[in-house]
Amino acid sequence: MFLQLVLILVVFIPLLAILLDSQLGRALASRLERRSLDGPPDLMAERVAYLEGEVERLTSEISRLDEEGQFVTKLLSERSDSEAALPPGDDSI
């Protein structure tokens, strides 16, 4: 009896893994996921509010990084302009 149970489990586990990794398993998982998203409306509103806050935070971070990039570009262009304006040094020393 114990040997039969072990053999059933040995065969059942790979079959279950194949089934879950197939298109059918993915469709079932997608359906279950959508059903869990249709939960309480206040939970969905919380998620949307959180995502909106994250979008605003990321937008401000991107604008800050853009300003920093413009500042560095300006510094580098001024540095190259000032180096071009300097007279060549005396190499005889």
**pLDDT tens-digit profile of 15-61?**
888 887 888 888 888 888 777 666 666 777 888 888 999 999 999 99
Is 67 part of any domain? yes
Based on the domain organization, do 22 and 45 belong to the same domain? no
Based on the domain organization, do 4 and 23 belong to the same domain? yes
**pLDDT category of residue 74 using cuts at 50, 70 and 90:** very high
- d(CA 57, CA 1) in angstroms, rounded, equals 61
**DSSP letter assigned to residue 93:** -
State residue 37's pLDDT score.
62
Of the candidates 21, 42, 44, the one whose C-alpha atom is nearest the C-alpha of residue 34 is 44
State residue 89's pLDDT score.
62
Is 91 part of any domain? no
Based on the domain organization, do 48 and 70 belong to the same domain? yes
**Which domain covers residue 76, as residue numbers?**
38-83
Is 58 part of any domain? yes
Question: Under a CB-based contact definition with an 8 Å cutoff, are residues 37 and 44 in contact?
Answer: yes
State residue 61's pLDDT score.
93
State residue 72's pLDDT score.
95
**Is the overall model pTM greater than 0.95, yes or no?**
no
Is 63 part of any domain? yes
Is 11 part of any domain? yes
- Mean local confidence (pLDDT), 62-76: 94
State residue 86's pLDDT score.
60
Number of structural domains found in the chain: 2
Based on the domain organization, do 42 and 13 belong to the same domain? no
Tokens of 31: 């359906």
Based on the domain organization, do 47 and 73 belong to the same domain? yes
